[in-house]
Amino acid sequence: MNRRNFIKSGVALAMTSALPSVVLAANPSVGFDYELIVAPADVNIVPGGSTPALSFNGGYPSPVIRAKQHQPVRIRVVNKLNEPTTIHWHGMRIPIGMDGVPFLSQPPIMPGETFDYEFTPPDAGSFWYHPHMNSVEQLGKGLVGALIVDEAEKPDFDEDLVLCMKNWHIKDDGSFTALTTPQNAFRMGTPGRVMTINGDIHPTYDVPAGGAIRVRLLNVDNTLVYDVTSTDSDAQIIAIDGNPIAQPRALSNHLIAPGMRLDLGVIAPSKIGETVTFKHKNKPMVTIKTVASQLENRRLPTLPLNPIPTPDLENAETIKFAFEWNANITPIHKDGKVNYNFWTMNRRSWEGMSKGHIPAPLATLERGKTYIFELSNLTQYHHPIHIHGHTFTVLKSNKKAITPFHTDTVLLGQNETVIAALVADNPGRWMYHCHIIEHLKTGFMGYVEVS
């Protein structure tokens, strides 16, 4: 989408209050498709309250960035925070220099500095972006946004709803509660109080009656695992974590952990004023409501599959990863502050890194070779395991039946072991971690190196 059409469609959205609220990217510098300005901003989440958030381009929801499969996109990031930041493009198979992990793939973007990201998406689907520095606070206070990569040949949906799911850690007056506590970081993470879709509490969006609707649900939350259901028994799962599935299936319920995404296909009711509601554990999250249209006999378009490399399972090497609690005594720094480390990957807690210190990788992979990751959750809590720069093919689980699918974030339940394969075709040092942000910040992180 060129800039003229982007602005035109953005104005149309702004004039239609029934559609999802959208923040436009700032007028980009010459040669850039988007400009993201990272800065503090007051936003309105709860009625009558003001929340001192961190924002992209002065508000929330953040700009919806739209790119196109196989076409380059250039994004300039301007840091107006009083601390460093980066931007990670979650789920994207892009070069390591664009991955947005400080020190591992790029220098931090210091206050007052800019960084230019440029990449060509090989895959189409629903992705998102967020910093990878001071993650509990920067993500928790609003630095999260949707990145939509349109297919090279765009499917013919009548409406495309981009819905970012986020629980805000705020009081009734809009001020923040604690984003994390040690007691909760040791368990499932600190829950937010206010459940929102695109910053609104249970919004309703108008859709054309009888239309083919694409509903993109993106979990940009720090902590919450959403259990999604629908009042429409015919709602279809059409893509998981940015990757279309070969055979769409009916949605009964689906767990969407932090970092994960779910694309649903819905044929809207044919009568004007009818609704479909999507819920989390029977609590309404978002409703679509039909308005007049001339559409009849619509069917859901078929999504083309992404070009994920096929694993060579017969010649694959298996690597085992065990995810456990850290039973060691928590260390205390010289200044008296506690360095909380609660989680381990193969008995290692992430020790942090800096310009002069990069820890050893959890595994070194040979470029072009297939690997089978045996992912074992030896704890009683859920863990969404996310790998950068690659896509897993999930093969099986010891807890449930699996129809193989592609993903960048594998959700492991209590004492669950999942077998997932990948082709190590993207050279670099790739972060690999739990996407419950408090787990990440208390040890549950490492990286694999493809050489």
Per-residue pLDDT, averaged over 49-73, amounts to: 97
Instruction: Give whole-number Cα distances, 446 to 27, 387, 428, 441, in Å.
Output: 37, 10, 14, 11
What's the pLDDT at 5? 41
Model confidence at 371: pLDDT above 90: yes
- Split at pLDDT 50, 70, 90, the class of 30 is low
- Split at pLDDT 50, 70, 90, the class of 217 is very high
Per-residue pLDDT, averaged over 121-127, amounts to: 98
- Split at pLDDT 50, 70, 90, the class of 15 is very low
233-272 pLDDT per residue, tens = 999 999 999 999 999 999 999 999 999 999 999 999 999 9
User: What distance in Å separates the CA atoms of residue 64 and residue 164, rounded to the nearest whole number?
Assistant: 10
The residues pairing with 396 across neighbouring beta strands, listed in sequence order, are 419
What's the pLDDT at 335? 72
Per-residue pLDDT, averaged over 132-160, amounts to: 97
What's the pLDDT at 9? 38
Model confidence at 172: pLDDT above 90: yes
What's the pLDDT at 360? 96
What's the pLDDT at 22? 41
316-336 pLDDT per residue, tens = 999 999 999 886 656 666 676
- Split at pLDDT 50, 70, 90, the class of 341 is confident
Per-residue pLDDT, averaged over 183-207, amounts to: 96
Domains and CATH numbers, the chain: 3-153 (2.60.40.420), 160-291 (2.60.40.420), 313-450 (2.60.40.420)
327 vs 122, more confident: 122
Model confidence at 11: pLDDT above 60: no
Q: What is the average pLDDT value for the chain, to the nearest integer?
A: 92
User: What distance in Å separates the CA atoms of residue 350 and residue 340, rounded to the nearest whole number?
Assistant: 11
Which structure tokens are listed for 338? 């506690």
Model confidence at 4: pLDDT above 60: no
What's the pLDDT at 356? 87
What's the pLDDT at 330? 63
What's the pLDDT at 332? 64
pTM of the model: 0.92
